[in-house]
Amino acid sequence: MKIIETIQAIRKEVKQAKKEDKSIGFVPTMGYLHEGHLSLISEARKKHDLVIISIFVNPLQFGPNEDFERYPRDFERDERLARKAGADVIFYPSVTEMYPKETPMTIRVTKGVDVLCGASRPGHFDGVATVVMKLFQLVQPDEAFFGQKDAQQVAIIMNMVETFDIPVTIVACPTIREEDGLAKSSRNVYLTEDEREEAPFLYETLQYGVKLIRSGEYNRQTVIHKMLAKLEGGSGTVDYLDIFLYPSLEKVEELSGQIILAIAYQYKHARLIDNLIMKVDQ
């Protein structure tokens, strides 16, 4: 497995792969890999000749009061895990390599950002879209693999690819969970013992919402109200709990078609997100 730290070197690697007619599977990450990331690498390994992952904690997507400096980093651990999962290349650039000067422009996302995580994190998805666009230009993958846990991010990247006619297929892979249902996340390490014991109730609440809809409750506000009642008494606070069409992220009061039930919950030192996507056929 190669570790590449410069833009010049990753371009050379990609150019050689294209010359040899190799297909490229790409997994962009911010590191501190867990089983969710590794499942994406394994999926890319099944389908492609060359598997490239990136590890880059992107400052553009962190707000002024967010955890850029505290975001967990352990490259030696990530290297071992990525190698074992089947990655061929880790692209591991520094911030100055990716942004050698003040960025004169970014992508501005205009749809699907004023809801869910975007509502409380202005500019976040502009930063995500900008770095993913840059990574796509450098790696030129045939397919890029993302976890469905970050469903809003997946939707926005899908829309970006369609809008700019980027020749890459986005593959959304299922959320990887702990045995008790908690979605795996790099931020789970910040949970206290009591918070970790309680946290699976987020997934249980989403499942309850799905059950309500499948039983014939199609009114969006009614489903949300009943789901919120399930969260009462938790030790954290609800950031949001909402239901939208997916991937358009449009709001409808009478639920039908493909929808997403999504939740964000703030504990003392960790903000957890989770979602379920389902098809509603009345």
Whether the CB-CB separation of 185 and 68 falls below 8 Å is answered with no
The catalytically annotated residue of 37, 124, 225, 269 is: 37
Q: Is 32 annotated as a binding residue?
A: yes
Q: Is 31 annotated as a binding residue?
A: yes
Q: Is 230 annotated as a binding residue?
A: no
Residue 157: C-alpha distances to residues 98, 144, 190, 196, 251 (Å)? 19, 10, 28, 30, 19
Q: Is 36 annotated as a binding residue?
A: yes
Amino acid letter for position 136: F
- 205: which 2 tokens? 């609440």
- Identify the CA nearest to 143 among candidates 122, 171, 179: 171
Q: Is 138 annotated as a binding residue?
A: no
- The 8-class DSSP code of residue 149 comes to G
CA 250 from centre of chain: 19
Q: Is 42 annotated as a binding residue?
A: no
| Biggest CA-to-CA distance, the chain | 59
Whether the CB-CB separation of 85 and 38 falls below 8 Å is answered with yes
Tell me whether residue 225 is one of the annotated catalytic residues.
no
Q: Is 209 annotated as a binding residue?
A: no
Q: Is 133 annotated as a binding residue?
A: no
Q: Is 160 annotated as a binding residue?
A: no
Q: Which residues define the annotated binding site?
A: 30-37, 61, 147-150, 153, 176, 184-187
Q: Which residues define the annotated binding site for beta-alanine?
A: 61
Q: Which residues define the annotated binding site for ATP?
A: 30-37, 147-150, 176, 184-187
Residues with a known catalytic role: 37
Q: Which residues define the annotated binding site for (R)-pantoate?
A: 61, 153
